[in-house]
Amino acid sequence: MLAEQKEQSEGSLTVFVISEHSLLLPQDMMSYIGPERTAVVRGIMHREAFNIIGRRIIQVAQAMSLTEDVLAAALADHLPEDKWSSDKRRPLKSSLGYEITFSLLNPDPKSHDVYWDIEGAVRRYVQPFLNVLSAVGNFSVDSQILYYAMLGVNPRFDPASSSYYLAMNSLPHVINPVESRLGSSATSLYPVLNFLLYVPELAHSPLYIQDKDGAPVATNAFHSPRWGGIMVYNVDPKAYNSSELPVRVEVDMVRVMEVFLSQLRLLFGIAQPQVPPRCLLSGPKSEGLMTWELDRLLWARSVENLATATTTLTSLAQLLGKIGNIVIKDDVASEVYKAVAAVQKAAEELASGHLSSAFVASQEAVTSSERAFFDPSLLHLLYFPDDQKFPLSVSLWGRDTLPFWPINLAHPCIEREH
């Protein structure tokens, strides 16, 4: 649409102002947000032209920049409860790496012979997205097929539509029984994201997910913050008329990956921007992520890491201040100095708009601060200081400590909070 520009630096934004009657934009549109770090604003012939155009530029810049909601989501674990609403989305915590597992659940293999080209789908749709997202961490992807894996919830029958459904209030009970079959999070060093494709058994087909108003969810899927997502994939009823059991089911991976990539974006806190009125928003690039969205994510992750590192260092200083006659080893002191220096560098790089280097420095700050805090030479002093060493008899685990995961409904997915 516009002449090709030189590659822009990260964190920057270029806004082009076009004439009032330019055909570059539809006549009913006042602005345009592109997939790169560019935007277009329509001018106007008016005595208040500078003020009007200035407001349009600010609106576009705010839509493409780090917003208060994005920042609050990144700092959710560091904000008081009264400053953070439980119905907000909690993105994944910043980490050096992430593991993604795609699982096909076939609870009725006697009726369904399910085939999914997961390798091809990951190569065509997921990997390009992760290549761009690799700026915030390393990713590993695997897949598995689980037979006779049930959701653990009995769907209800709707005689009006001759179908089955999962109501919103039953969704909190769906994940835990399935999670015990996945077997990946217990041994992983990094956060694990689970994406489950569930083909319902013949006795409960077709199966639909309902929202809080009892209407079917368009994607027939829900996601849970910091865990992953589940999509129900119904078999075409016509398949049962012309075939003997088990029927051959070939999964439409394009439709499935559209849902899973949308959920993956939400899990990382990449939500749809709030664009101003009469603004044309470009679709994402082929990789599924706009350049300015990556900038915003790097900024948010850097701020989150800085908050984590400073909180860890502050806690360490407070705890050590309460313990007398303590000797700090040289390697622990070195990690503290490294963490402080990395915090300062990250803050300076953020102020200069160097988002990638700021993010790297913020990761180093977290790593060094946690190495100091969890150093073996300090652990026994932090948790068992001399003035608190007396016999204790505490039942660490009981039947009342079983985990419970509440889930909230949000369009188009359902969320849970840990």
The pLDDT of residue 107 is above 70: yes
308: Cβ contacts below 8 Å, ≥ 6 apart: 77, 78, 94, 366, 369
Question: Which of residues 248 and 417 earns the better pLDDT score?
Answer: 248
pLDDT of residue 417: 42
| Residues 294-317 pLDDT 10s | 999 999 999 999 999 999 999 998
Residue 342 burial (CB count, 10 A): 23
Average pLDDT over residues 68-91: 68
Strand, coil or helix: 278? coil
Mean pLDDT rounded to a whole number for the chain: 84
How many Cβ atoms from other residues are within 10 Å of residue 196's Cβ? 25
DSSP calls for 108-139? -TTTEEEE--HHHHIIIIIHHHHHHHGGG-EE
Name the band, by pLDDT with cuts 50, 70 and 90, for residue 83.
low
State the Cα–Cα distance between residues 402 and 135, nearest whole angstrom.
37
State mean pLDDT over 123-150. 93
Among the ranges given (50-54, 218-222, 397-401), the one the predictor scored with the smallest mean pLDDT: 397-401
Amino acid at position 149, single letter: A
pLDDT at 81: 62
Q: Which residue has the higher pLDDT, 209 or 385?
A: 209
E strand or H helix that includes residue 230 = strand 228-232
The predicted-structure confidence for 12-29, as pLDDT tens digits, reads as follows: 899 999 999 999 999 899
Q: What is the pLDDT of residue 7?
A: 65
Average pLDDT over residues 51-58: 92
319 burial (CB, 10 Å; 0-12 / 13-18 / 19+) is middle
Q: Give start and end residues of each alpha helix (H) in 104-252.
A: 118-121, 127-133, 175-182
pLDDT at 326: 73
The rounded Cα 273 to chain-centroid distance in angstroms is: 15
Q: What is the pLDDT of residue 82?
A: 58
pTM of structure: 0.84
Q: What is the predicted pLDDT for the residue at 398?
A: 43
* pLDDT at 411 (0 to 100): 40
Res 404: pLDDT: 41
